Amino acid sequence: MRILPVEPHHIPALSQLARDTFTETFGPLYPPEDLSAFLEKSYAPEKLAAETADPAQFWRIVYDGDDAVAYLQCGPVGLPHPDADPARAGELKRLYVHSSQQGKGLGRMLMAIALNWLGETYGDAPQWIGVWSENHKAQALYRSYGFERVGEYQFPVGQTLDDEFILRRQP
């Protein structure tokens, strides 16, 4: 496994991986038109190229041989919570592992990388995560790192609005 900073030549693989992992994790929850609109809006190569070029964002992509199998994104907190200050605190925005690689410790490895970056970048400021209210597996992982639920919001996937939890931890 190779964990690399995302560079421009990784964008096609990142776009495909992001689409694949979101679809395998959440795809059956949405009408096809909502899923398609979300994937195009969120994971289009041009969108990811702009996001990965932003120096405030921290991205990593994981390769197993020639295959992209996981990725991570952190950056300034953007969650709708009154205490979430993007000038002072960071958020783990995305952490996805392809189903073929789950159960091998890769998620925990990426979590450690994310928390390390958040700590180095934001010091002792709170660390934030948004998670789907029914993703109990991810919630259990985040709880094991000391994240606690402090709010809720709705996340749009096309025309569908998901109920999401806002989690925070004090390092």
Q: Quote the percentage of the chain above a pLDDT of 90.
A: 95
φ, ψ dihedrals at 64, nearest 5°:
-115, 105
pLDDT average, residue stretch 60-82: 97
What pLDDT score was predicted for residue 137?
A: 86
**Which domains occur in the chain, in start order?**
2-120 (3.40.630.30)
Cα–Cα distance measured from residue 15 to residue 29, given in angstroms and rounded to the nearest whole number: 21
Q: Are 44 and 170 in contact (CB under 8 A)?
A: no
Q: What pairs with residue 62 in β-bridges?
A: 3, 70
Residue 10 — very low, low, confident or very high, per pLDDT cuts 50/70/90?
Answer: very high
pLDDT in tens, 118-136: 999 999 999 999 999 999 9
Please give the Cα distance from 17 to 36 (Å, whole number).
Answer: 15
User: Could you write out the DSSP letters of every residue in 28-81?
Assistant: GGS-HHHHHHHHHHHH-HHHHHHHHH-TT-EEEEEEETTEEEEEEEEEE---S-
Residue 171 has pLDDT above 90, yes or no: no
For residues 113 and 96, give the distance between their C-alpha atoms in angstroms, rounded to a whole number. 13
CA distance 94 to 126: 17
- The pLDDT tens digits for 78-113 are 999 999 999 999 999 999 999 999 989 999 999 999
CA distance 154 to 163: 5
